[in-house]
Structure 1
């Protein structure tokens, strides 16, 4: 995985503010859209979608966090 991807994923997971999570997820999705798709990229995209779903379902998120993530 690229360093940018790992740092964005780390920022998403550690962030406690909905706005920061939302911005990081947007940047991550833009980064992934610019990468040519191959077998490894499909695995990465699937993994990241799984992580995003876990973040959305986390009990640590309040309604503002959930709403921001749903807007992505």
Structure 2
């Protein structure tokens, strides 16, 4: 049996040993752990922040501030 299958069986065995009042909390914990991590969701945010940082650097090098300039 693979390590993953062993872990699944161990988890199931532990679930069967839990008193019913603790089962709700365990299910909530498992649901939380099953959600995608915040680090994965932040990849797009990190890329956008890099673009913003590059634009700010270019603006500072040119000595202009497009936000404060009147159109």
Q: Which of the five TM-score ranges fits, normalised by the shorter chain? A: 0.3 to 0.5
TM-score for both structures, normalised by structure 1: 0.35
Larger RCO (CA under 8 A, 6+ residues apart): 1
Which TM-score applies when normalising by structure 2? 0.36
Which of the two has higher C-alpha Rg?
2
